[in-house]
Amino acid sequence: MSHDHDQPHDHGHDHEPIGHDGEPPAAARVRALEGLLVEKGVITREAVRQGVDWLVSRSPGDGAKLVAHAWVDPAFKERLLTDARAAAGELGLDAGPSPTVVAVENTDEVHNMVVCTLCSCYPRALLGPPPAWYKSLPYRSRAVSEPRAVLAEFGVELDPGVELRVLDSTADVRYLVVPQRPEGTDDLSEDELAALVTRDSMIGVAQPRAVEPQPA
């Protein structure tokens, strides 16, 4: 997970004096906190390691598999939209330990876009950790009040007449966007379809990848 820094992380604000390896003081602090809590028997190192292992195992590939399967199997898509956790389970995918996951479908009429204005709620089990911008203050404030300007920054312009529906994940529900299947993909395998489904398309700030035009 760690990587060499040539310069300190840019969070857009000033850090306190940086420790070794470009890490902020919080790094040493949290390691010391883990040690203290393990010594006190509050938690075990194994429990922490399990948490780390789970987190690093999460990736948007799981969400992409769900979407690709929904694209090829309309009955599965309906089940996904009704109960995403159960549908994920059909494919052997882990929808996460707690809250409810709801899949919402983009159509010709509606384009969905997800945010958590209050913190950073996100379907991590199926998409991996949220991108830094999703957790950022400007995304959290602008995604609800000026979503089309935000989409424009992401390079997305919706067709006229499309309803832009922003979902603010304020409670125990996590939202996963099912983007529309791109044109010209009838001959693709499910794995090839999954490769078109980007993390950002499942947040709703991007469309899925287009198919490469075939050589003549």
Partner 1 sequence: MRFEPGQRVRVAARPHEGHCRTPVYLRGKAGTVASVHGSFANPETRAYGADGLPERPLYGVLFAQRDVWPGYTGPGEDTLVVDVYEHWLEEA
Partner 2 sequence: MHDRGGVPTGEPIDRTEHELEDWEVLTDALAGALGRAGVMNVDELRRGIESMPPGEYERASYYERWLFSLEANLTEKGVIAPGELDARL
Q: Which residues are catalytic?
A: 116, 119-121
User: Minimal CA–CA distance to 157: which of 165, 147, 166?
Assistant: 147
Measured from the CB atom, the residue of 177 and 205 that comes closer to partner 2 is 205
- Out of 172, 183, 187, 212, the residue judged to bind partner 1 by CB under 8 A: 172
CA–CA dist 142, 159 (Å, integer): 21
- Decide: helix, strand or coil at residue 166: strand
Q: Name the minimum Å distance from CB 164 to partner 1.
A: 5
Amino acid at 130: P
CA–CA dist 202, 112 (Å, integer): 9
User: Minimal CA–CA distance to 91: which of 113, 74, 67, 114?
Assistant: 67
Verify binding: residue 32, partner 2, rule CB under 8 A. yes
Residues numbered 98 to 127 that lie near partner 1 (CB under 8 A) are 99-100, 102, 117-118
Amino acid at 141: S
Verify binding: residue 20, partner 2, rule CB under 8 A. no
CA–CA dist 189, 136 (Å, integer): 36
Measured from the CB atom, the residue of 6 and 13 that comes closer to partner 2 is 13
DSSP secondary-structure letter at 164? Answer: E
Q: Name the minimum Å distance from CB 14 to partner 1.
A: 28
- Out of 59, 141, 189, 191, the residue judged to bind partner 2 by CB under 8 A: 141
The alpha carbon of residue 71 and the mean position of all alpha carbons in its chain are separated, in whole angstroms, by 19
Verify binding: residue 14, partner 2, rule CB under 8 A. yes
Verify binding: residue 142, partner 2, rule CB under 8 A. yes
Q: Give the footprint of partner 1 on this chain (CB under 8 A).
A: 99-100, 102, 117-118, 144-148, 161-173
